[in-house]
Structure 1
Amino acid sequence: MGSSSSNMNNIPNSWELMQETGFSAAHLFRLHERFKFMDKDKKGHLRPEDFEAVQELSTNPIGDRIISSFFSPGQETVDFPSFVRVLAHFRPTEKNRSRDDTQPEQANSSMGKLKFAFQLYDQDRDGKISREELLQVLRAMLEMQVTEEQLQSMAERAIQEADLDKDNAISFDEFRKSLEKVDIDHKMSIGFMK
């Protein structure tokens, strides 16, 4: 018990981060170790290049979008608390978690995961996924597997099916409704060092 407590003393704002993100002390400690390993300059901040060295991100077709989700516009580095807050979106949801409306929404809630996924598409942050933004993701994910004409057709069909207000874009509400039958908790969960 003392060892865990002393490890946590080396992590800035550890107890607040555990409350905010739902990570256990052991998970937070391991994430801190990973953060330090990725921090090649040893300055306590990660740059986009540090993330690009992670094989799972460098080989992911939308890895650049995932990496950019760690950084606010104009931000060049990310500190440990910000790193953990983004990773919390991928923490599996507890099955027996009771809904408490007095607590802020957890990043790993279904709604938190949907908002995060929506932002991966909505690169211009205008609150809508345009046909071009959808095409960019489809191109990245399906690159050599389909023709440009097939990509255009897929994007058009997706917009037609999800665009309930017929403004030729997908709002967050439309995005959420189109994914009602998808198990977003499962799709956006990573087992964090079980």
Structure 2
Amino acid sequence: MGNKLLTFTEQQLENYQDCTFFTRKEILRRLRVHKKFREIRPDLVPKRMRQNEQVTIRVPLEDVVEKLPELRENPFKQRICEVFSRDGKGNLSFEDILDLLSVFSEQAPRDIKVYYAFKIYDFDNDRHIGTEDLDSALVLLMRQELSPEDRQQIIEKVIEEADVDGDGKLSFMEFEHVITRAPDFLSTFHIRI
């Protein structure tokens, strides 16, 4: 890469390496993430961002899900943005996008992926995955192809199989137990840029 494309200081690159699962080489390759971030809203994102702007400049959720190709076809795109946004509304800063891509990278540890998968499925943010959360996930996954009765049967079966303590919802530990029995789940929990 030529110096022309370098938009971060040496210290900023080291900081990103310390707080993500990316190697230095990957961070340098991900400088194109800044370019992508800027392309989402060039009127909002400057070519060179000062350190505070990497957190304070936020691209609106609607623009991210429409213009970021890595999320465009994902049925959970809005929920993913909400989980990774520091404002909780899905508006993403550059650092929010780096966090998102870091967690979805192949190098991210399994326990981090499970943690964020749980957060994504916990639509109401009550630290449990209940019947409403499962219904929301099914609606997104099946794009309204299942009747409410079919969704209810699936939800009941999931709760029956995974709810160890019998409280009608899944705790993080119960969710983690289910995920360890479904190795394909984590192999699909990544985004390529």
Change (3 A) 1:64 1:147: same
Give the aligned partner of residue 105 of structure 1: none
Aligned residue pairs: how many? 177
**Mapping of 1:155-174 within 5 angstroms?**
155-174=155-174
When normalised by structure 2's length, the TM-score is 0.79
Aligned pair 1:91/2:105, yes or no?
yes
In 2, the alpha carbon distance for the partners of 1:141 and 1:61 equals: 6
Give the aligned partner of residue 29 of structure 2: 27
In 2, the alpha carbon distance for the partners of 1:186 and 1:82 equals: 22
Report Cα offsets for 1:80-120 as digits up to 9, x if no partner. Answer: 12220122111112xxxxxxxxxxxxxx2101101111111
Unpaired segments ≥5 residues, structure 2: 46-56
Q: Give the AA of the match of 1:90.
A: F
Unpaired segments ≥5 residues, structure 1: 94-107
In 2, the alpha carbon distance for the partners of 1:149 and 1:11 equals: 56
In 2, the alpha carbon distance for the partners of 1:22 and 1:56 equals: 18
Give the aligned partner of residue 78 of structure 2: 64
Q: Secondary structure at the match of 1:53?
A: helix
Higher relative contact order (CA 8 A, sep 6+): 1
Give the aligned partner of residue 39 of structure 2: 37
Give the aligned partner of residue 146 of structure 2: 146
* Runs of at least 4 residues off by over 4 Å: 73-76
Give the aligned partner of residue 190 of structure 1: 191
Give the aligned partner of residue 100 of structure 1: none
Instruction: Give the helix-richer structure, 1 or 2.
Output: 2
When normalised by structure 1's length, the TM-score is 0.79
Q: Secondary structure at the match of 1:61?
A: coil
Q: Secondary structure at the match of 2:75?
A: coil
| Residue 185 of structure 1: how far off its partner (Å) | 4.0
Change (3 A) 1:152 1:33: same
In 1, the alpha carbon distance for the partners of 2:139 and 2:8 equals: 45
CA RMSD of the aligned region, Å?
2.5
